[in-house]
C-alpha cells in the first residue's frame, strides 16, 4: 500500500472528532498483531506515560487508564467507580455535559446534587461552598472544564480548591480542553481528568482515557461495584498486573494515538495552544465581519468553541447553510442549547490560517445563495 496516497482533506469545525493529519490516519495501517503480545503492551505503556506528560502528572502519583469507547464512557467510569457507599456526588452544572453527568448518576441510582447554574453564566463559587458546607456527605465533586455545548470555561482550579477543602475528590470532564488548553493536573487541583483521543489529541475515535490519582483509585476498590465493564479500579488493576486492557483494545486506533502524541510533542504545548487561539480569533473575526452574535461573553469563552446565535432573517436555514459548506469540505455544527437557537464553530484539530480564510469564502457564499442578508440582522 502506498503511504503517500492522498486523502481528501475535510475541515471539521464541529466540536470533535477533529481534523487529523494524514500521518495520524495512516498510522492505523499496521501489520496485524495480537494485543496480548509484549510488543503491543509496550506500545500501550509508552502511550500511558505520554498521556501523563500532557497534563504534567507525576508518574509516581498518577496513572493513565485507557478504555475502548467514546468520551462519555470516562464520565460514567469516574462517577460509578469513585463514590463510597453512603456518600453523595455534587455536580456543578452549567451545561449539557454536566447534565449528562447528572443523568449517569440517576441511571446508577447514585445520590447526586444537581447544582444548576444558567448555561450562559459561570458557576457561583459561594453557592458551591455553601452546598459543600450543608452536605458533609459529598465525597465527589464533578464539573466540566469547557462546556462544549456553549464554549464557556469553568473555573476548575477554584472549584477544585473548594472540593479539597471539604475533603471531596474532584473529577473534571476535560474532554474538550485536554491537549489544547494547557492543563497542569496538580496546580489545577484536579484529581481526575479525562478525554477521548479524537478531540485535543487529533487522533481517532474509539479510545478514551482517564488520568488520576493512584491512591484514590486504589482506595476505590472498597467502593460498591456498580458496573462490570466500566469500573476504574478493575481496569487499573489489570493494567498494573499485566500491562493490558482488561478486554480487547482498539488496536489500530491506539497506533494512531501514538502517532498523534508524537506530533503533539513535536508541535509543543504552547505552540499548539497558540495555533488553536489563532484559529479561534480568526473565527471570531470572520463572524463579526458578517454581523453574527455570540451567546457567551467573549471573556468567559474557553477559546475553542463559539456558540453563534441564529440571525433573525426569514431566509436563515441552518441546514441549507450547513449543506453548502459540507459539499465544499467544511463541516459546521448545530448548537446544544435548548432555549436559544445556535450553531457552533470550533477551533479544534489540525487546521490553520488558510483553512479559516477559505472557510469564510465558502460560508459567505452559502449566505449569499440562500439570500440571507449580510451583515446578518437581529431584531433586538
Ligand atoms: C465530546 C465530549 C464528551 C464525549 O462525548 P462522546 O460523544 O461520548 O465522545 C464528553 N464531554 C465533553 C465536554 C465533550 O466535549
**Cα of 132 vs its chain's centroid, Å:** 26
**Is the beta carbon of 71 within 6 A of some atom in ligand 1?**
yes
Q: Is the pLDDT of residue 1 over 80?
A: no
C-alpha cell at 245: 486492557
Taking alpha carbons only, the member of 260, 252, 354 closest to residue 23 is 260
How far from 369 is each of 317, 325, 344, CA to CA, in Å?
12, 12, 21
Using an 8 Å Cβ cutoff, are 186 and 57 in contact? yes
Task: Give tens-digit pLDDT for 182-209.
Answer: 999 999 999 999 999 999 999 999 999 9
Q: What per-residue confidence (pLDDT) applies to 57? A: 98
Q: Is the CB of 14 under 6 A from ligand 1?
A: no
C-alpha 79/C-alpha 102 separation (Å) is 9
The stretch 34-60 carries a mean pLDDT of 97
> Relative to the CA of 176, which ligand 1 atom is closest?
15
The CA dihedral of 235, 201, 97, 68, to the nearest 10 degrees, is -30
d(CA 345, CA 316): 17
Q: What is the mean pLDDT of the chain?
A: 96
* Cα R_g (the chain), whole angstroms: 21
Indicate if ligand 1 lies below 6 Å from the C-beta of 280. no
From its phi and psi, is residue 155 left (phi > 0), alpha (psi between -120 and 50) or beta? beta
Residues 4-24, mean pLDDT to the nearest whole number: 93
Residue 97 near ligand 1, beta carbon < 6 Å:
yes
Nearest of 98, 93, 88, 208 to residue 136 by alpha carbon: 88
Tell me the mean pLDDT in the region 74-79: 98
User: Pick from 22, 15, 29: which is nearest to 349 by CA?
Assistant: 15
From the CA of 371, how far away is ligand 1's center (Å)? 35
Q: Look at the block and give the residue holding cell 464520565.
A: 75
What is the pLDDT, as a whole number, of residue 336? 78
Range in 48-52, 183-187, 317-321, 332-336 the model is least confident about: 332-336
- Is the pLDDT at 247 greater than 70? The verdict is yes
pLDDT tens digits, one per residue of 78-132: 999 999 999 999 999 999 999 999 999 999 999 999 999 999 999 999 999 999 9
Helices 269-289 and 251-267, packing angle to 10 deg: 90
**Atom of ligand 1 minimally distant from the CA of 144:** 13
Q: Pick the residue with more confidence: 338 or 150? A: 150
Ligand 1 pocket test, candidate residues 175, 194, 346, most atoms within 8 A of CB: 175
Q: Report the pLDDT averaged over residues 219-242.
A: 97
Nearest Cα neighbor of 76 from 113, 115, 103, 55 is: 103
- Ligand 1 geometric centre to CA of 127 (Å): 26
Q: pLDDT at position 337, please? A: 78
Give the per-residue pLDDT at 380.
Answer: 87
Which residue's CA is the closest to the ligand 1 atom numbered 6? 71
- What residue owns the CA closest to ligand 1's atom 4? 71
Q: Residue 339's pLDDT band (boundaries 50, 70, 90)?
A: confident
Nearest residue to 165 (alpha-carbon basis) of 196, 183, 189, 142: 189
Ligand 1 nearest-atom number relative to CA 146: 13
| pLDDT number for residue 3 | 53
CA quadruple 370, 374, 375, 379: dihedral positive or negative?
negative
Report how far ligand 1's centroid is from the alpha carbon of 193 (Å): 13
259 CB within 6 A, ligand 1: no
Query: β-strand 88-93 against 138-144: which pairing, if any?
Result: parallel
- Expressed in angstroms and rounded, the spacing between residue 71 Cα and the centre of ligand 1 is 5
**pLDDT per residue over 291-303, tens digit each?**
999 999 999 999 9
Alpha helices in 208-298 (DSSP H): 214-219, 232-242, 251-267, 269-289
Q: Is the CB of 342 under 6 A from ligand 1?
A: no
C-alpha distance from residue 380 to each of 272, 293, 316, 377 (Å): 38, 11, 16, 9
- Inter-residue contact 366 to 13 (CB < 8 Å): no
335 — pLDDT class (breaks 50, 70, 90): confident
**pLDDT of 286 higher than 70:** yes
Question: Cα dist. 55→51, 174, 179, 184, 315 in Å?
Answer: 7, 11, 8, 5, 46
pLDDT band at 2 (very low <50, low <70, confident <90, very high): low
Closest ligand 1 atom to 148 CA:
15
Buried b (16+ CB within 10 A) or exposed e, 228-263: eebbbbbbbbebeeeebbbeebbbbbbbbbbbbbeb
Among 72, 91, 94, 145, name the best residue to mutate to test ligand 1's pocket (greatest count of ligand atoms within 8 A of Cβ): 72
Amino acid at each position: 500500500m502506498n503511504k503517500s496516497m492522498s486523502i481528501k482533506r475535510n475541515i471539521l469545525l464541529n466540536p470533535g472528532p477533529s481534523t487529523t493529519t494524514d500521518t495520524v490516519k495512516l498510522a492505523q495501517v499496521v501489520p496485524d498483531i495480537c494485543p496480548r503480545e509484549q510488543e503491543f503492551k509496550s506500545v500501550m505503556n509508552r502511550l500511558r506515560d505520554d498521556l501523563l506528560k500532557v497534563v504534567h502528572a507525576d508518574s509516581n502519583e498518577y496513572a493513565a487508564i485507557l478504555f475502548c469507547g467514546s468520551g462519555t464512557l470516562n464520565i460514567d467510569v469516574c462517577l460509578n467507580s469513585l463514590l463510597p457507599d453512603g456518600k453523595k456526588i455534587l455536580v456543578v452544572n452549567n451545561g449539557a455535559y454536566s447534565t449528562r453527568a447528572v443523568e449517569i448518576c440517576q441511571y446508577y441510582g447514585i445520590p447526586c446534587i444537581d447544582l444548576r447554574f444558567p448555561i450562559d453564566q459561570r458557576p457561583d463559587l459561594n453557592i458551591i461552598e455553601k452546598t459543600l458546607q450543608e452536605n458533609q456527605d459529598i465525597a465527589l465533586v464533578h464539573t466540566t472544564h469547557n462546556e462544549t455545548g456553549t464554549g464557556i470555561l469553568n473555573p476548575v482550579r477554584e472549584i477544585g480548591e473548594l472540593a479539597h477543602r471539604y475533603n471531596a475528590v474532584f473529577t473534571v470532564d476535560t474532554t474538550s480542553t485536554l491537549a489544547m488548553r494547557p492543563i497542569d493536573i496538580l496546580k489545577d487541583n484536579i484529581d481526575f481528568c479525562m478525554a477521548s483521543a479524537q478531540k485535543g489529541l487529533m487522533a481517532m475515535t474509539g479510545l478514551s482515557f482517564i488520568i488520576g490519582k493512584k491512591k484514590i483509585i486504589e482506595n476505590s476498590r472498597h467502593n460498591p461495584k456498580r458496573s462490570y465493564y466500566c469500573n476504574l479500579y478493575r481496569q487499573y488493576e489489570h493494567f498494573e498486573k499485566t500491562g493490558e486492557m482488561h478486554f480487547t483494545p482498539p488496536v489500530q486506533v491506539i497506533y494512531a494515538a501514538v502517532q498523534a502524541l508524537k506530533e503533539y510533542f513535536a508541535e509543543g504545548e504552547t505552540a499548539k495552544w497558540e495555533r488553536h487561539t489563532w484559529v479561534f480569533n480568526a473565527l471570531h473575526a470572520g463572524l463579526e465581519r458578517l454581523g453574527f452574535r455570540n451567546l457567551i461573553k467573549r471573556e468567559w469563552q474557553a477559546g475553542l468553541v463559539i456558540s453563534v446565535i441564529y440571525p433573525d432573517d426569514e431566509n436563515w436555514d441552518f441546514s441549507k447553510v450547513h449543506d453548502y459548506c459540507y459539499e465544499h469540505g467544511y463541516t459546521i455544527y448545530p448548537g446544544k442549547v435548548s432555549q436559544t437557537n445556535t450553531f457552533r464553530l470550533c477551533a479544534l484539530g489540525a487546521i490553520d490560517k488558510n483553512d479559516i480564510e477559505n472557510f469564510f469564502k465558502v460560508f459567505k457564499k452559502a449566505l449569499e445563495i440562500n439570500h440571507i442578508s449580510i451583515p446578518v440582522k437581529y431584531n433586538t
